[in-house]
Structure 1
Amino acid sequence: MFKKIATPAIVMMAAAAASADDLTVYSAGPKPLSAALAEAFTAKTGITVNLFQSTSGKVMARYEAEKANPQADVLISASWGHAITLSDAGELLPYTSPNADTVPASLKTEDYVAQGAAAIAMVYNTSLGLPAPAEWSDLTDEAYKDMVTMPDPSASGAALSLVQGLASQDADAAWSLMGALKDNGMIVPGANAAALNPVLSGARGVVFGAVDYIALGQKAKGEAIEVVYPESGTVLAPRPIMIPATTDQADEAKQFMDFVLSDEGQALVADRLILPARTDISSKRAGWDELSLIDFDYVKAAAESEDTIAAFKAAVE
């Protein structure tokens, strides 16, 4: 099957037209990670990678639009729910990488495995004189009146995962917390960037449910923010890597998955301040031993996601 080259702005190694031996990878960001993995894989194997990099929604929309003439050999999303949906539909090629031994069981199945994960956190602006929050419920205090933002779970898979995790522990308490945050002036302006940007600018003080690696990257650039993981528990937003069953490059796709989970590939994940999927890979961020994680059923949560979003909206109206 002839492989089209992805859009010019995002193509790697496109000095010539794609050949039958090329590997086509559709990947959610961050763009520097997608590019680094593609470049390093090509350097190691000699296999050219044609990379389409965009948001998870656009990656999946492109995959769906091309079903009559499939192009993607590997998919990487920032939404675990996408992998669950494709697996349930029988659209993924089963493969277990030999490099996945130290990936926790909750982050791998026969059809897909985490590339890495974000941990969901509170992020506060340290220049505003606010007290440092320690727990999710702290943000209902008067000190944070009209200071809190939150990504919309209908626009952010990470925020949805947080709500799902909290609700799995105690649904009534979760919806009561959301209502109390709303009463304390919390706004829900949109996806992750829409919630973080007002805190970076100082217009607001704290994000409830921030994607940690994005905030850690901003802090590394000099932004006056701190990232807090509540001891009562938070959730992971895993980033699945999967192989469509329609690929005609199965061997190369498996090699790419192996590379992403190799020492070198996981080090590249760690370099972007994303939590590596492998528990034996260190990184300059809170690691597996430092996070208190809420254990919940991702598959059940995905099946109930529409009900969860509806309940969230009712709680914050």
Structure 2
Amino acid sequence: HNLLKPSGDGTCSHYLRAARAGNLEKALDYLKNGVDINISNQNGLNALHLASKEGHVEVVSELIQRGASVDAATKKGNTALHIASLAGQAEVVKVLVTNRANVNAQSQNGFTPLYMAAQENHLEVVKFLLDNGASQSLSTEDGFTPLAVALQQGHDQVVSLLLENDTKGKVRLPALHIAARKDDTKAAALLLQNDHNADVESKSGFTPLHIAAHYGNINVATLLLNRGAAVDFTARNDITPLHVASKRGNANMVKLLLDRGAKIDAKTRVSSSLSAGSDCVELLPLTCVLL
């Protein structure tokens, strides 16, 4: 039951506890007495991981200076940067990246630090990682990119940030997606007029209708549907525009999609209920609410 039971003796577990508590003096005492700086518990968590999770910047800096392995991974393949990103410890993230932590390290399930920060809505961490070379195109073993998880979770600002980065970075977002995001029906209509595919997919597998559904952009959504966009287009992980609109609690968009024949029983591969937590449940049949 004790997470901090180390691979070695009691001294090591005290050392790990000191790091987790942010007690630098104590941690350094153990190191002076010959404890291995990279010793870990049975889950593979070491002092750097534990200090990173708790946001102890000073301890993290000191451990790295004294030779702690910056990219050492836990049994699940998580590095200190994964752990700090998941916990939203922005200052620790900066220290780790400055000390050459691998920003695109993938855990056993394919999670990157950017994915973890996007999933948990840690805007500052997402921005910093993007500015320091984090890739948006790396996906988890079940096909989720950072954009996919941010859309699924309804993290609006993170979605905006990722899309902005998508357009300026190497991951070029299709023009129709940008028009959908801005609710720019004129641009969208011009693009569609030029035989632009209404269901063009971004690198993350989303169509312009997914983007319009996320932002609640009814005008461009209506235009896309009128021009033949698939109302139930399933992105990776089987996310449909209706899932996105429901997650955002956008009643008008949900109504539009249902009116156009969206299937309400569509299941995503990760979560089965379409809309139980949002304000638009009354638009969906009772069975859906009880899922």
Length-normalised TM-score, structure 1: 0.27
The higher radius of gyration belongs to 2
Structure with more contact order per residue of length (Cα contacts < 8 Å, sep ≥ 6):
1
